[in-house]
Chain A
Amino acid sequence: DIQMTQSPSSVSASVGDRVTITCRASQGISYWLAWYQHKPGKAPKLLISAASKLQSGVPSRFSGSGSGTDFTLTISSLQPEDFATYYCQQANSFPWTFGQGTKVEIK
């Protein structure tokens, strides 16, 4: 199985800050990577697919990059509604696997 490792596991940031989350795959997955936002009690929300494709309706302050084994999710200017847990997920091969999550907290 492909292991996905996210860092950091948590980050404290202020509104307006730039936040970067990294995700590393244990083997090459080309660009088959998705990023999700999850808030407690809510359905997870797909933000980015194919490593860098922003989903419809997702604010442009979110961006994704990378290919192969190393990927990045960037929030360019953190907004109050962005405080949540973020997960990467590889879609290269089954079983699909998620990173352990990165909790973005208010500083």
Chain B
Amino acid sequence: EVELVESGGGLVQPGGSLRLSCAASGFTYSSYWMHWVRQAPGKGLVWVSRINSDGTSTSYADSVKGRFTISRGNAKNTLYLQMSSLRAEDTAVYYCARGFTSGLDYWGRGTLVTVSS
């Protein structure tokens, strides 16, 4: 059974940093692109970033470009999101999701990041 479990969320001050992790199991992790999607309180889903299967190619939403870095450890079946220069507007539940050609077929339950002083 495919399972994605996010961790690493919490309370951080504006300007601070945080690293999210997503542990994957139940599938051949190294064969899939992976994504991060977020949802601010009371708002809709927003795509954040993606990484290809071997980690050599990435893409970012303009709102996080230059501040967030997506990476992966295929030996550990883990996806990461390094977030820096955090702002109040980055407050959200962050989901990791498995990608395929035309969508995101499995999602985790998310981890909450709160940026506040």
B64-117: which residues lie under 8 A (CB-CB) from chain A? 95, 97, 100-110
Q: A87's contact among B45, B61, B100, by CB below 8 Å, is which?
A: B45
In the complex the two chains form, is B95's CB within 8 Å of A95's CB?
no
In the complex the two chains form, is A43's CB within 8 Å of B105's CB?
no
Any chain A CB within 8 A of the CB of B11?
A: no
In the complex the two chains form, is A94's CB within 8 Å of B50's CB?
yes
Number of A-B contacts (CB under 8 A): 68
Tell me the interface secondary structure of chain A in the complex.
Answer: loop
A78-103: which residues lie under 8 A (CB-CB) from chain B? 85, 87, 89, 91, 94-101
- How many chain B residues touch A (CB < 8 A): the figure is 25
- How many chain A residues touch B (CB < 8 A): the figure is 29
In the complex the two chains form, is A44's CB within 8 Å of B47's CB?
no
In the complex the two chains form, is A34's CB within 8 Å of B44's CB?
no
- A33 (CB) vs chain B CBs: closest residue: B102
Any chain A CB within 8 A of the CB of B25?
A: no
Any chain B CB within 8 A of the CB of A42?
A: yes
Chain A hits for B110, CB < 8 A:
43
In the complex the two chains form, is A43's CB within 8 Å of B107's CB?
yes
A55 to B98, CA, bound (A): 14
A97 to B60, CA, bound (A): 11
In the complex the two chains form, is A95's CB within 8 Å of B62's CB?
yes
B47 vs chain A, min Cβ distance (A): 4
> Chain A: residues with CB nearer than 8 A to chain B?
1, 31-34, 36, 38, 41-46, 49-50, 53, 55, 85, 87, 89, 91, 94-101
